[in-house]
């Protein structure tokens, strides 16, 4: 496959690590090796930062319309190579071809959207309170940015960070996830094919042991003007701290603990149907996957029995993929055991799936969940639906907010005043009412509390990569 790379990319050149070290990438479906890429470190990262900094000296003078044209070309080339990209993405993540295709579709629409936004980065002329002065507000790109991305939607999330940074006029150094770096390398090759100049996008790859030194090199470099990270809250906190002493801009898209509230007034069939998407998307490995099902008394039995029937239609290895790696797998097993030991009732599943592959877990439904169980307090990131009963609207909302996280929330209600009341009181950056995961490019996506700061998507996503400069021209 032409797009399956075994090198990282610095200043438009495919390069090995200075140390020559590499690490293997394996398919989580069957453990097969699909490639190997450089295991880089801080030394390689410095080279990438320098290349990005040099490229910025000319990229900053490329106009918004010129950037837009290049990014549109990138979208076209990605589209034309979609089949191969999906194969690479499926191999490194274990995604079905349908899920890979969906990720590709989102990526292409994201590139197209930000290609348009590149043309609309406007400033202002502010009226002067005194005569003889002209006051301008310009939006300028931050400069070189560091982008660290996760494995669950590696191609889409990586590609969207890159395109937003480039649309804003920044150049970048990308550190893709160790589990799934290949699709990022492929789309960056296509960006070069589309004519994006060398040095504008640099990619440094590494296995887990070097991730922290690369992260630190990026956060501490004087040439890096901003960081953008998607991943766990634990790593987000480290990066936030590392940026602190340098007063460096950082946007963080971190973990969630999405409540999925079903009120007595809900259309229960709809809530069940959409729960299957919110919960089981990519085997539950999405930061906005439904985490805690909070169901009101009167509809509780109906919801649980209908959801149980619906979950029986999914089978690990058929329409449910694997967990990403051994850590994820252990985590899910541990969470279910924790719930079991604290008295929860396992209605379905509750075990690794047999005879499919080492990383497959049975679709699971648990009732009798309490606020002390890990499936309630932590992000599950697996195919486990944990259900809690509540009595009043107030209690339901209180439970929904009973977490340090605040990324996504879902609720089902057919009572108009309840819809407005609850939407207002839910503490999260995104709320879906009578709906499931839907994040169009125009939506400002991001969390509150320990789920992060800053937004991705929409013109607000561009704001993360620009600053406003006030220019006062006097003595006129
Ligand atoms: P997950 O637990 O889902 O793998 P992580 O937050 O651990 O999420 O990983 C997301 C990204 O952050 C990956 O690219 C990973 O290599 C990177 N990463 C992990 N630890 C660090 C660190 N200390 N500093 C910078 N990046 C890191």
Which CATH number goes with the domain that contains 277?
3.40.309.10
Nearest-atom index, ligand 1, CA of 177: 14
The domain of 238 spans: 8-254+451-473
**Residue 249 is assigned to a structural domain of this protein:** yes
**Residue 86 is assigned to a structural domain of this protein:** yes
Residues framing ligand 1 (Cβ under 6 A): 148-150, 175, 177-178, 211-212, 215, 231-232, 235, 238-239
Separation CA 247–CA 241 (nearest Å):
10
Are residues 118 and 162 part of one domain? yes
Are residues 360 and 416 part of one domain? yes
Are residues 311 and 242 part of one domain? no
Are residues 243 and 176 part of one domain? yes
Are residues 302 and 176 part of one domain? no
Separation CA 86–CA 103 (nearest Å):
8
**Residue 78 is assigned to a structural domain of this protein:** yes
**Residue 293 is assigned to a structural domain of this protein:** yes
Token pair of 125 as six digits? 């002329």
Which residue is closest in CA terms to ligand 1's atom 9?
231
Q: Where are the alpha helices (DSSP H) in 118-258?
A: 154-168, 182-193, 208-220, 233-243
CB atoms within 10 A of CB 357: 18
Q: What is the pLDDT of residue 35?
A: 96
CA of 175 to the centre of ligand 1 (A): 9
> What pTM did the predictor assign?
0.97
Q: What is the pLDDT of residue 1?
A: 87
Nearest-atom index, ligand 1, CA of 235: 6
Are residues 424 and 295 part of one domain? yes
Are residues 461 and 385 part of one domain? no
Are residues 364 and 325 part of one domain? yes
Number of domains in the chain: 2
**Residue 55 is assigned to a structural domain of this protein:** yes
**Residue 138 is assigned to a structural domain of this protein:** yes
Q: Tell me how far CA of residue 56 lies from CA of 43, 52, 172, 173, 301, in angstroms.
A: 20, 6, 9, 12, 59
- Please confirm, yes or no, whether 220 is among the known catalytic residues: no
Separation CA 183–CA 171 (nearest Å):
20
**Residue 327 is assigned to a structural domain of this protein:** yes
Q: Tell me how far CA of residue 301 lies from CA of 216, 384, 410, in angstroms.
A: 50, 18, 19
The answer to whether 410 touches 430, Cβ cutoff 8 Å, is: no
ipTM of the complex: 0.98
Are residues 137 and 262 part of one domain? no
Mutate which of 231, 241, 285 to test ligand 1's pocket (most atoms within 8 Å of Cβ)?
Answer: 231
Separation CA 414–CA 229 (nearest Å):
37
CA of 330 to the centre of ligand 1 (A): 18
Q: What is the pLDDT of residue 155?
A: 98
Choose the catalytic residue: 87, 253, 450, 456: 253
Greatest Cα pair distance, the chain, in angstroms, is 80
Q: What is the pLDDT of residue 211?
A: 98
| Per-residue pLDDT in tens (0 to 9) along the chain, 476 residues | 899 999 999 999 999 999 999 999 999 999 999 999 999 999 999 999 999 999 999 999 999 999 999 999 999 999 999 999 999 999 999 999 999 999 999 999 999 999 999 999 999 999 999 999 999 999 999 999 999 999 999 999 999 999 999 999 999 999 999 999 999 999 999 999 999 999 999 999 999 999 999 999 999 999 999 999 999 999 999 999 999 999 999 999 999 999 999 999 999 999 999 999 999 999 999 999 999 999 999 999 999 999 999 999 999 999 999 999 999 999 999 999 999 999 999 999 999 999 999 999 999 999 999 999 999 999 999 999 999 999 999 999 999 999 999 999 999 999 999 999 999 999 999 999 999 999 999 999 999 999 999 999 999 999 999 999 999 999 99
Are residues 160 and 81 part of one domain? yes
Find all residues with CB under 8 Å of 161, minimum gap 6, and list them.
147, 149, 172, 174, 228, 230, 456
Are residues 416 and 291 part of one domain? yes
- 76-84, Cβ contacts within 8 angstroms, sequence gap of 24 or more: 76/194, 77/190, 77/191, 77/193, 77/194, 78/104, 78/107, 78/108, 78/111, 78/159, 78/187, 78/190, 79/108, 81/3, 81/186, 81/190, 82/108, 84/1, 84/2, 84/3, 84/186
Are residues 431 and 306 part of one domain? yes
Mutate which of 8, 93, 146, 150 to test ligand 1's pocket (most atoms within 8 Å of Cβ)?
Answer: 150
CATH of the domain at 66: 3.40.605.10
The CA dihedral of 328, 322, 311, 264, to the nearest 10 degrees, is 40
**Residue 2 is assigned to a structural domain of this protein:** no
């Amino acid at each position: 496959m032409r797009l399956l790379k075994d090198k990282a990319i610095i200043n438009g050149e495919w390069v090995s690590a200075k140390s020559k070290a590499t690490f293997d990438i394996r398919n989580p479906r069957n453990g097969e090796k699909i490639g190997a890429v450089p295991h880089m470190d801080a030394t390689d990262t410095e080279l990438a930062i320098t290349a990005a900094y040099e490229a910025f000296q000319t990229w900053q003078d490329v106009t918004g319309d010129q950037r837009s044209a290049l990014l549109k070309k990138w979208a076209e080339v990605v589209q034309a190579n979609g089949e191969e990209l999906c194969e690479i993405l499926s191999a490194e993540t274990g995604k079905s071809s349908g899920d890979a295709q969906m990720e590709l579709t989102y990526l292409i629409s994201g590139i197209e959207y930000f290609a348009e936004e590149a043309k609309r980065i406007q400033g202002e002329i502010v009226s002067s309170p005194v005569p003889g002065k002209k006051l301008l507000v310009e939006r300028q790109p931050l400069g070189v940015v560091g982008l660290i991305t996760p494995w669950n939607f590696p191609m889409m999330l990586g590609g969207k960070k890159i395109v937003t940074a480039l649309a804003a006029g920044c150049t970048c150094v990308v550190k893709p996830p160790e589990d799934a770096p290949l699709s990022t390398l492929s789309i960056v090759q296509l960006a070069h094919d589309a004519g994006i100049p060398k040095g504008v996008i640099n990619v440094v790859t590494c296995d887990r042991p070097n991730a922290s030194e690369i992260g630190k090199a990026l956060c501490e470099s004087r040439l890096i003007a901003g960081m953008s990270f998607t991943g766990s809250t634990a790593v987000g906190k480290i990066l936030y701290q590392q940026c602190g002493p340098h007063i460096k801009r950082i946007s963080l898209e971190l973990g969630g603990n999405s409540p999925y509230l079903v009120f007595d007034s809900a259309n229960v069939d709809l809530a069940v149907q959409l729960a299957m998407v919110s919960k089981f998307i990519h085997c539950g490995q999405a930061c906005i996957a439904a985490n805690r099902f909070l169901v009101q008394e009167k509809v509780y039995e109906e919801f649980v029995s209908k959801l149980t029937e619906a979950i029986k239609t999914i089978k690990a290895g058929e329409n449910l993929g694997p967990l990403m790696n051994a850590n994820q797998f252990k985590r899910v097993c541990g969470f279910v055991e924790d719930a079991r030991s604290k008295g929860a009732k396992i209605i379905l599943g509750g075990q690794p799936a047999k005879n499919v592959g080492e990383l497959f877990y049975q679709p699971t439904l648990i009732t009798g969940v309490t606020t002390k169980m890990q499936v309630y307090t932590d992000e599950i990131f697996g195919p486990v639906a944990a259900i809690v009963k509540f009595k009043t609207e107030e209690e339901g909302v209180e439970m929904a907010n009973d977490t340090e996280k605040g990324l996504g929330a879902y609720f089902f209600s057919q009572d108009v005043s309840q819809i407005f009341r609850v939407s207002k009181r839910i503490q999260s950056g995104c709320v879906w009412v009578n709906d499931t995961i839907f994040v169009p490019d125009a939506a400002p996506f991001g969390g509150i509390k320990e789920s992060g700061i800053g937004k991705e998507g929409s013109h607000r996503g561009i704001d993360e990569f620009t600053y406003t400069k006030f220019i006062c021209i006097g003595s006129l």
